[in-house]
Amino acid sequence: MSELLSILKTGELHDGAMKHVKAGGKDIMVSRVSGKYYAIDNHCGHMGGDLSAGKLEGAIVTCPRHGSQWDVTDGHNVRWLRTPGTAPKVSKIGAYPVKIDGDNILVQI
């Protein structure tokens, strides 16, 4: 069963920014790209790096640990950097529907 949770106010996130939030027991990275809001898992599928500490260029976030890249619009992997001892390639991380209600950013978990 999914639930819709209020996570931020729209004024808390400017265009081109991202932020780590906790919602529904999950670590989520919320980003704003070209006026739209997106929510994906905050942990890189490569080695668990904190994506909200990475670099956002357009809709692509680069993990600060090893440089793997993820599309914030749907969580799919754009670039995978294989390092000895890492798990097999992860093609997608969790992405969550976002809804705006007034000035509230809501995410469906």
**Tens-digit pLDDT profile for residues 13-35:** 999 999 999 999 999 999 999 99
Asked if the model's pLDDT at residue 56 lies above 90, the reply is yes
**Where do the domains of the chain lie?**
4-108
Asked if the model's pLDDT at residue 83 lies above 70, the reply is no
Write down the residue that tokens 């914030």 correspond to: 72
**Which of these, 92, 78, 46, lies nearest to 65 by C-alpha position?**
46
Mean pLDDT within 92-99: 97
Q: Which residues contact 27 (CB under 8 A, 6 or more apart)?
A: 20, 41, 42, 43
Please tell me whether residue 12 adopts helix, strand or coil conformation.
Answer: helix
Please report, rounded to a whole number, the percentage of residues in the chain having pLDDT higher than 90.
Answer: 80
Q: How many CB atoms lie within 10 A of CB 36?
A: 13
Residues 19 and 84: their CA atoms lie apart, in Å, by: 30
Asked if the model's pLDDT at residue 1 lies above 90, the reply is no
Mean pLDDT within 86-100: 87
Report the pLDDT value the prediction gives residue 78, as an integer from 0 to 100.
94
Mean pLDDT within 46-61: 94
Query: Which CATH number fits the domain 4-108, given the four candidates 3.40.50.410, 1.10.1380.10, 3.40.50.300, 2.102.10.10?
Result: 2.102.10.10
